[in-house]
Amino acid sequence: MAEPAGRGPELDPQLRKALEAILLVVEEPVAASTLAQVLEVATDEVEAALRALRAEYVDDGRGFVLREVAGGWRLYTDPGAAAYVERFVVHGRSGRLSQAALETLAIVAYKQPITRTQVSEIRGVDADGAIRSLLARGLVEEVGREASPGQPVLYGTTGLFLESMGLADLGQLAPLPDSTSRPLPPEPPPGGYKAARRRLDAPAPGGGDGPDGADDVT
């Protein structure tokens, strides 16, 4: 994918200058097609130039890199300089996510669109706090409403999620391990469930003629 060092031929200086200037002001990854439109150049050409530029930055050992994520291109600091950059970026972009938030993020990412209740069912506990946190961080968003009673909100992941994960699109998410392919383990019932049930079903032993005092209770 990355072009070899040879930078000259396909990188028109004017195109490079325009691309670099625009990349400096984008606030989210910008699609090659958008750049092509603004620059009135074929998308192919823009893409080729972006790839050449990406390779050039790497070859030159620059402090910034050009990445293609979330369906677009954007400038990032080179991780090699992270130690210095941290001093100037007061707040980490999303801090550290709690385990609850990560679980919830995974469920939303792989099952989207999904309702809050469905997330809670998988987690076994309420997911409100975690979803709220992910909403606030811009990693998930409301994507619609389910056509069912109460019309619960459906959630999905955002472009920022893809960007943070370094993914071009959701198709690049690592496949989930298939847990259902394994057979269920045995649950040895030494006593036998049927036997247990039968005892429950058996008529009450003795004392069946409890006094009618029961009425007083309620």
Partner 1 sequence: MASSYHVAVGSFEGPFDLLLQLIARHKLDIYEVALAQITDDYLTVVAEMGQLNLEVATDFLVVAATLLELKAARLLPDEDEPELDELTLEARDLLYARLLDYRTFKQAGQALGDRLRALAGYVPRAVPLEPHLARLRPPVKLPVTPAGLAEVAARVLAAGPEPGVDLSHLQPVWMTVEEAAVVVVEGLVRAGGRATFDQLTAGCRHRVELVACFLALLELYRLAQVDVEQRENFDTLTVTTAEGADPTRGDWAQAAFAALQSSTDADRGRSRVTAGG
The residues in 194-213 that bind its own copies, with binding defined as CB under 8 A, are none
**Cis omega (within 30 of 0) on the bond before 113?**
yes
Q: Answer yes or no whether residue 13 interacts with its own copies by CB under 8 A.
A: yes
- Please, which residues bridge with residue 68 across strands? 73
Count of residues that interact with partner 1, criterion CB under 8 A:
107
Supply 120's token pair. Answer: 């809670």
Which x/- pattern over 158-197 shows residues binding its own copies (rule: CB under 8 A)?
A: x---------------------------------------
Q: Report how far residue 183's alpha carbon sits from residue 34's, in angstroms, rounded to the nearest whole number.
A: 50
CB of 45 to partner 1, least distance (A): 24
The residues in 4-63 that bind partner 1, with binding defined as CB under 8 A, are 21, 23-27
Please report, as a single letter, which amino acid is at residue 111. K
Q: Which is nearer to its own copies, 78 or 146 (CB)?
A: 78
Q: Report how far residue 116's alpha carbon sits from residue 120's, in angstroms, rounded to the nearest whole number.
A: 6
Q: Report how far residue 29's alpha carbon sits from residue 186's, in angstroms, rounded to the nearest whole number.
A: 51
Q: Answer yes or no whether residue 38 interacts with its own copies by CB under 8 A.
A: yes
Q: Could you tell which of partner 1, its own copies, none binds residue 18, using a CB distance below 5 to 8 A set by kind?
A: its own copies
Which of 4, 9, 21, 180 is the binder for its own copies (CB under 8 A)?
21
The residues in 114-133 that bind its own copies, with binding defined as CB under 8 A, are 123-126, 128, 132-133
- Distance set, CA 82 to CA 26, 89, 112 (Å): 21, 10, 33
